[in-house]
Amino acid sequence: MRRKTRTVYAGKIQIGGKAPVSLQSMTKTDTRDASATIIQIKELEKAGCEIVRVAVPDEAAALAIKQIKKGIKIPLVADIHFNYKLALLAIDAGADKIRINPGNIGEEWKVKEILSAAKSAGIAIRIGLNAGSIEKFNEKKRREAASVMALKMVNKAKEYIRFFEKNKFREIVISLKASDTMTTVDSYRLMAKNCDYPFHIGITEAGTALTGTVKSAVGLGILLNEGLGDTLRVSLAALPVEEIRVGREILKTLGLRKNESDLVVCPTCGRCEVKLFPMAELIEKEMLKLKKPAKIAVMGCVVNGPGEAKDADLGIAGGKGSGLIFKNGRILKKVPEKQLLKEFLKELKKLG
Ligand code: SF4
C-alpha cells in the first residue's frame, strides 16, 4: 500500500497524497544558456518528463530561469548549493520549487531567508540530502553498514525538518540519496517511520546507462513496491531523455503507470531472420505518438513470433523474404520483407 503523505506542489504537479508518482529529470546544459536549456526541456516534455530541475551555480543561471520558464510547460525546480542568495534569486525568477541541502547553505538565518521567500512565493522546498554530504569518512567508517549510514542521513533530515517546522514551513519534500543502492533503500524506509512528507526518490550518481539503470531499477523498484516514493529521478550519465525512459519503464513494470503503452520484444535467437534491434528501437519511438495505450510486439521470426505474442494488440514478426503483421492474436497480413516495417507503421498509426 502506498505510504500516506502530505501533499506538496511543484507548479501544477501534485507530489504526494493520492497523486501518481511523477517523473523528473535534470538538464545537463549550462543553465545560463537559456535557449539550449529550453531545447533540452522541450525534449524532456515530449518524452514524458513532468518536473524538470536545473542547476543554479551562479547569479546568471538564477536569472536565466525567468527566460527558461517562458519557453517551457512543465514546472521547474532550481537546484541550489552553498549560496542562499541564489535561492532567493531563483525564487524571484519564478522557480516552481527549489532544492537545497540546508547543511551547505551555512548559518541558520540564511536558511530562514530562503524559507521566508519560498513561503511568500507559495513554493515548496526539497530537503535534498546526499550520503556524501553527511560527514567525511575515514576508511574504517566507510565500511559501516548501509543501515548505520541510513540512520545518520535520517537523523540529519529530521534535524532540518524540525528547523523548517519551527519556522512554520511545511511545504517539504525529502530526498535521501546515496550512490549505494541499499543505503538509499534503508534511508527511505527509516525516514518513512519518522515523517509524512512526500519523498523524492533516486539513486545518486548511479552510473552509466547500463549500471545506472540496473541500480535505479533495483533500488527504486524495492521502494516503490513498498509504497515509498512520490516523485522520482533516475540519474544516468546519459541524455536526460534516457532518464525519463528508464523511470517510466520502472513505473510501468510495477503497474504504477497503467495508461501507457507496452512494448514486447523477443530477445532473438538462431531463428531470427531480420535485424530486429534497430526495428524495435524505431517502433518504440513511434509508439510515443500513440494516443491510446496499446501492447505492441516485435518478434524475430514468423514461426514462433505470432504465437509467443498473441496477447499483443498489434505485432510484427520478421521473416526471410516476407514477414507477418498480426493483430489481437490473428494474422492480419503477410508482407514482403522490404515493405514490412512501413506497413507495420501504417497499422500502428491506425491504433490512434
Ligand atoms: S520469436 Fe522467434 S526469433 Fe524471437 S526468440 Fe522466439 S523463436 Fe527466437
Number of structural domains, the chain? 2
Q: Which atom of ligand 1 is nearest to the CA of 272?
A: 3
Residues 248 and 270 reside in one and the same domain: no
Q: Which atom of ligand 1 is nearest to the CA of 269?
A: 8
Q: In testing the pocket of ligand 1, which one of 265, 268, 279 has its CB within 8 Å of the most ligand atoms?
A: 268
Whether residue 271 has its Cβ less than 6 Å from ligand 1: yes
Cβ(190)–Cβ(154) below 8 Å: yes
Whether residue 304 has its Cβ less than 6 Å from ligand 1: yes
Cα Rg of the chain, angstroms: 23
Rounded-to-integer distance, Cα 14 and Cα 230, Å: 9
Domain that holds residue 338: 262-350
Domain boundary among 198, 218, 253: 253
Whether residue 299 has its Cβ less than 6 Å from ligand 1: yes
Residues 195 and 314 reside in one and the same domain: no
Strand order in the sheet with 322-327: 262-265, 295-299, 314-317, 322-327, 330-336
Residue nearest to atom 2 of ligand 1 (CA): 301
Cell, residue 103: 547543511
Residues 62 and 93 reside in one and the same domain: yes
Rounded-to-integer distance, Cα 38 and Cα 256, Å: 29
Whether residue 270 has its Cβ less than 6 Å from ligand 1: no
Q: Is residue 205 in a domain?
A: yes
Q: Residue 134's domain is classified under what CATH number?
A: 3.20.20.20
Q: Fill in the DSSP letter of residue 199.
A: B
Q: In testing the pocket of ligand 1, which one of 299, 310, 324 has its CB within 8 Å of the most ligand atoms?
A: 299
Rounded-to-integer distance, Cα 228 and Cα 192, Å: 8
Phi and psi angles of residue 49, each rounded to the nearest 5 degrees, phi first: -70, 135
Q: Is residue 118 in a domain?
A: yes
pTM of the complete model: 0.89
Which pLDDT score, from 0 to 100, does residue 135 have? 59
Residues 183 and 300 reside in one and the same domain: no
Ligand 1 geometric centre to CA of 70 (Å): 49
Rounded-to-integer distance, Cα 352 and Cα 341, Å: 18
Residues 125 and 16 reside in one and the same domain: yes
Q: At 34, which amino acid appears?
A: A
Rounded-to-integer distance, Cα 180 and Cα 92, Å: 36
In the chain (352 residues long), the average pLDDT of successive 10-residue segments reads 96 96 98 98 96 98 98 98 97 98 95 98 96 61 70 95 98 92 92 97 87 94 98 95 95 88 93 91 91 93 88 93 93 94 95 86
Residues 24 and 156 reside in one and the same domain: yes
The neighbour count for residue 79, using CB atoms within 10 Å, is 23
Domain boundary among 253, 279, 313: 253
Ligand 1 geometric centre to CA of 315 (Å): 13
Q: Fill in the DSSP letter of residue 78.
A: E
Residues 177 and 277 reside in one and the same domain: no
Q: Is residue 245 in a domain?
A: yes
Whether residue 308 has its Cβ less than 6 Å from ligand 1: yes
Domain boundary among 218, 253, 288: 253
Ligand 1 geometric centre to CA of 306 (Å): 10
Which pLDDT score, from 0 to 100, does residue 320 have? 86
Ligand 1 geometric centre to CA of 352 (Å): 28
Residues 61 and 187 reside in one and the same domain: yes
Cell 515509498, located at residue? 228
Burial of 73 (0-12, 13-18, 19+ CB in 10 A): exposed
Ligand 1 geometric centre to CA of 322 (Å): 16
Cβ(199)–Cβ(125) below 8 Å: no
Q: Which atom of ligand 1 is nearest to the CA of 317?
A: 1
Rounded-to-integer distance, Cα 233 and Cα 246, Å: 9
Task: Quote the strand ranges of 157-198, DSSP E.
Answer: 172-177
Residue nearest to atom 1 of ligand 1 (CA): 305
Residues 156 and 301 reside in one and the same domain: no
Q: Is residue 1 in a domain?
A: no
Cell, residue 112: 530562514
Q: In testing the pocket of ligand 1, which one of 264, 265, 269 has its CB within 8 Å of the most ligand atoms?
A: 269
Q: Residue 335's domain is classified under what CATH number?
A: 3.30.413.10
Residues 222 and 280 reside in one and the same domain: no
